[in-house]
Structure 1
Amino acid sequence: MLALLALLLDGLGPARPAAAQGSVVSRLLELSRGADRPLPTTLWYPSALAGRHPIILFSHGLGGLPRHFAPLAAGWAEAGYVVAAPTYPFTNGLGRVDRRDIVNQPADAAFVIEAVRALNGVPGDVLAGHLDIDRVAAVGFSAGGTTTLGLFGPGHPAYLRAGVSISGRRPPAEFGGSPAPLLFLHGDRDRVVPIRAGRQAYASAQFPKQFVTIPGARHGEFLRPGDSRYPRVTGRILTFLGANVPVA
């Protein structure tokens, strides 16, 4: 276990200072899966930690950044989750976007999950002893939804309990491993990732699953707090997470 912990944290640079935002704290972990795959990861978690908290891995879309989804992540943290959102190296909004790299992102996401789980045993870390490392969910938007679904391949860890794909496509690899509930959400006027692509992803999954159509919605504007559909959509996601990866 100690050897595994050392291996996982070998790519962990010094953590940036935490910033409190009311009942939620955010902080940046400088993770890296090799020299050419930096994965700086933003964490959001409750400022008052008590007991053990499940983990949510969130994946952004093409040209996105974790901070674009801060209200969504903060809402999950307020509900008692620890949220980890990596900035993927070749699909983020800070440089040239290479959609061909999406195929590599499920492995990035899995690496980040393991690194965050490892914090539970790091002496002195504020999250030590407060992570429910056996209950992890993955959520992603657009290319991040495809990344999320890619985590649920053959042999995926049993602690990966549920997944949510928002406006995503079918993953590059087949589904497999122990069944984990999946939630698919998609706007029926999405021109970036047409709803038929989301339905194809849904049809390819053999796990317990739900498909939610968001009438009149395009590509993700319903994830903005000012959108009238935001409370309904985020509530649906949180209800699904609470049913399958509950906070103790």
Structure 2
Amino acid sequence: MRRLAVVLVLLALLLDGFAPSRPARAGDSVVTRVLALTRGADRPLPTTLWYRSNPTGRHPIILFSHGLGGLPRQFSALAASWADAGYVVAAPAYPKTNARVRVDRRDIPNQPADAAFVIGAVRDLNGAAGDALAGHLDVNRVAAVGFSAGGTTTLGLFGPGHPAYLRAGVSISGRRPPAGFGSPDSSGLSGESKSSSGGFGGPPAALLFLHGDRDRVVPIRAGRDAYALAPSPKQFVTLRGARHGEFLKPGDPRYARVSGQILDFLAANVPVADL
């Protein structure tokens, strides 16, 4: 029985993406694979990638962050559309807020460092001999997109000292980072100096905020508070009649418009070139 239990645990880990990278699966034009990343023993970060099959040229990177109790696969349609447009999309399952664990919202302040780690690991694939993405990543063009708590995580990447290759961010139904919640590279700054600018700083980066005006989970005023603190260039889009994220589901009548707005913003600020 004990041996059977061990086998079942190992099988579960394989299915959940905590084992070594799975072979890529090719669809009509987009490939999906999982990287078994970890930032320390207690911070596994299985990361789903979406990218064009047989990539040519160099592709910008999009880091996507899920919300509380979410998983990357719940946003596969959105991610696949970005990959089809020429981006390489990386979506980690955060260790203490994904759907397979008991969610601990107190861990959200640790997630920007997780996101930065994943971005670094994906950028490293550009020089990984034998990898399908080797030589095909535009490592100096990176965007971050996040939903709900993932939106807060995304905004936390744009603190003082954030790298210049982080060109744009999209917060969907998110809120401002708490005081002292800045870029993982800005730990040398005092909490007071970071909170005075709402955690924002560093090289200029375009920010897009999208929020439903009937959101009861994260009220729109929370999104507007974050927008007010963010530096320019920035844009706030009010989604009339929308609640908390149903517009990100392909079956929703607003999905095409919202997903199009996000892709247009990405294309304008982190353009795909040299393909």
Q: Give the TM-score category using the shorter length.
A: over 0.9
**What secondary structure does 1:193 align onto?**
coil
Q: Aligned runs of 1:60-75 on 2, under 5 Å?
A: 60-75=66-81
Report whether the alignment pairs 1:205 with 2:230: yes
Q: In structure 1, what residue type is equivalent to 2:74?
A: H
Q: Deviations over 1:167-188 (max 9, x none)?
A: 0000132100011000000000
Q: Deviations over 1:208-239 (max 9, x none)?
A: 10000000000000000000000000000000
Instruction: Give the unaligned 5+ runs of structure 2.
Output: 1-17, 182-198
Aligned to 2:245: 220
Q: 1:76, 1:171 → 2: CA distance?
A: 26
- Equivalent pairs counted in the alignment come to 237
Partner residue of 1:137 out of 143, 163, 166: 143
Aligned to 2:48: 42
Partner residue of 2:209 out of 184, 190, 198: 184
8 Å Cα contact 1:65/1:92 also seen in 2: yes
Post-superposition offset of 1:92: 0.3
Aligned to 1:9: none
Q: Deviations over 1:114-148 (max 9, x none)?
A: 00000000000000000000000000000000000
Aligned to 1:161: 167
Q: Deviations over 1:66-85 (max 9, x none)?
A: 00000000000000000000
Post-superposition offset of 1:95: 1.4
**What secondary structure does 1:71 align onto?**
helix
**What secondary structure does 1:200 align onto?**
helix
Q: 1:59, 1:29 → 2: CA distance?
A: 15
Q: Percent identity, please.
A: 79
**What secondary structure does 2:231 align onto?**
coil
Q: 2:47, 2:92 → 1: CA distance?
A: 4
Q: Aligned runs of 1:113-132 on 2, under 5 Å?
A: 113-132=119-138
Q: 2:271, 2:19 → 1: CA distance?
A: 31
Post-superposition offset of 1:48: 2.9
- For normalisation by structure 2, the TM-score amounts to 0.85
Aligned to 2:196: none
Q: In structure 1, what residue type is equivalent to 2:240?
A: P
Post-superposition offset of 1:13: 6.5
Q: 2:203, 2:58 → 1: CA distance?
A: 24
Q: In structure 1, what residue type is equivalent to 2:126?
A: N
Q: Aligned runs of 1:50-89 on 2, under 5 Å?
A: 50-89=56-95
Report whether the alignment pairs 1:235 with 2:235: no
The structure with more radius of gyration: 2
Instruction: Give the unaligned 5+ runs of structure 1.
Output: 1-11
**What secondary structure does 2:260 align onto?**
helix
**What secondary structure does 2:81 align onto?**
helix
Q: 1:96, 1:47 → 2: CA distance?
A: 35
Post-superposition offset of 1:14: 2.8
Post-superposition offset of 1:22: 1.2
**What secondary structure does 1:170 align onto?**
coil
Tell me the C-alpha RMSD between the 2 structures: 0.9
Q: 1:38, 1:219 → 2: CA distance?
A: 27
8 Å Cα contact 1:13/1:31 also seen in 2: no
